[in-house]
Amino acid sequence: MQSFFDPAILFFVFGILAGSLKSNLEIPPQISRFLSLYLLMALGLKGGFALAKSGMTAEVLISLGAALGMAILVPVLGYLTLRRFLNGFDAAAIAATYGSVSAVTFITAVQYLDTHGISFGGHMAAAMALMESPAIVLAVVLANHARQQSVASAGPGTSATGIAPLGRILHEALTDGAQLLLLGAMVIGVLTGDSGQAAMKPFSVDLFKGMLAFFLLDMGLLAARNMGKLKGQSVWLLVYAIAGPLVHAGIALALGWTLDMSAGNVALLMVLAASASYIAVPAVIRHAIPEANPSLYFGMSLGLTFPFNILIGIPLYVHAAQHWLP
């Protein structure tokens, strides 16, 4: 309950209420974009400064390996589950959305750990960047397979249309501006170390909490406006939007326990596994899988999963990690 009264979380709740009341309160898109880039840059710097102190240890490599494993496992499990009650295109798009990550959810979790004095490795920001792209690539491969199957079932004389070139999708996934900024800021943090940390403290530390609160206000408004997209959808999709992240977080917890990772790092791995992308993946999937219904993958991730993780999921994942790990 204490985490619920964090100012940043309360601004998120306020945004949901304002959006539900159909208020004309809104954050201009340019400001929202600036806030997003600021948070990623500050997070990258924090991670780089921490990595400069710790070095490339075995724990860092284990954490990054675990993140990559989850980035492959989650979309595969998601697709196999969703394919039971959805067509191949919608199943692939939603699997990609939930197999990728939400940077804002991760940033909020980092702030939560900082507030509660729970230590974690700065390299987990690199783990977040590592987990963003594999799900997109897998989804495009699955969608292309679905197109080829539909052509085969249609009989001779038909040809596959809309097959997304994997090279172009890989380029978009790996050169996304936000992801590059995060990694670039992390490299700069590693290179500058303690002197860079002291110089950038007013930017990357002092302003961080206020900027996060402002951005979560915008996210609350956006979440409220996307909840309506879920009206009339299958109840199984609504269940998946909540139960899926919990299952993914549980798998991450078991993996972290098996690999003897620290509680803080496992908590962040759980947050990453449980989060769903609502920016990077929808932007790519909209062009790569045009057959998929955007109201499904966008409405589920932003209308249900994101608010759940911000308000309930993060404290739950941190508590579970602390309970099961040292």
For position 124, which CATH number holds?
Answer: 1.20.1530.20
Confidence of residue 159 (pLDDT cuts 50, 70, 90): very low
**Mean pLDDT, residues 272-280 taken together:** 89
- Taken in order 239, 77, 325, 49, the sign of the CA dihedral is negative
- Residue 21 burial (CB count, 10 A): 9
When divided into structural domains, the chain yields a total of 1
Specify the pTM: 0.88
- 16 within domain boundaries: no
- 204 within domain boundaries: yes
Cα distance between residue 108 and residue 214, in whole Å: 12
Q: Under 8 Å CB-to-CB from 147, ≥6 apart: which residues?
A: 160, 161, 162, 163
- 8 within domain boundaries: no
Residue, of 9 and 265, whose pLDDT is higher: 265
- 22 within domain boundaries: no
Structure tokens at 38: 């600021």
Residue type, 260: D
**Mean pLDDT, residues 65-90 taken together:** 94
- 272 within domain boundaries: yes
Confidence of residue 138 (pLDDT cuts 50, 70, 90): confident
For the chain, give the percent of residues with pLDDT over 70.
90
Q: Under 8 Å CB-to-CB from 219, ≥6 apart: which residues?
A: 12, 15, 104, 306, 310
- Residue 258 burial (CB count, 10 A): 9
Q: Does pLDDT of 86 surpass 50? A: yes
pLDDT reported for residue 175: 66
Q: What is the residue-averaged pLDDT of the chain?
A: 87
pLDDT reported for residue 294: 85
- Residue 320 burial (CB count, 10 A): 18
Buried b (16+ CB within 10 A) or exposed e, 192-223: beeebbeebeeebeeebeebbbbbbbbbbbbb
- 174 within domain boundaries: yes
Structure tokens at 266: 């496992």
Domain containing residue 306? 29-149+163-324
**Mean pLDDT, residues 53-61 taken together:** 87
**Mean pLDDT, residues 79-91 taken together:** 92
Structure tokens at 185: 């800021």
- 154 within domain boundaries: no
Q: Does pLDDT of 170 surpass 70? A: no
- 14 within domain boundaries: no
Cα distance between residue 302 and residue 308, in whole Å: 10
* SS3 state at 232: coil
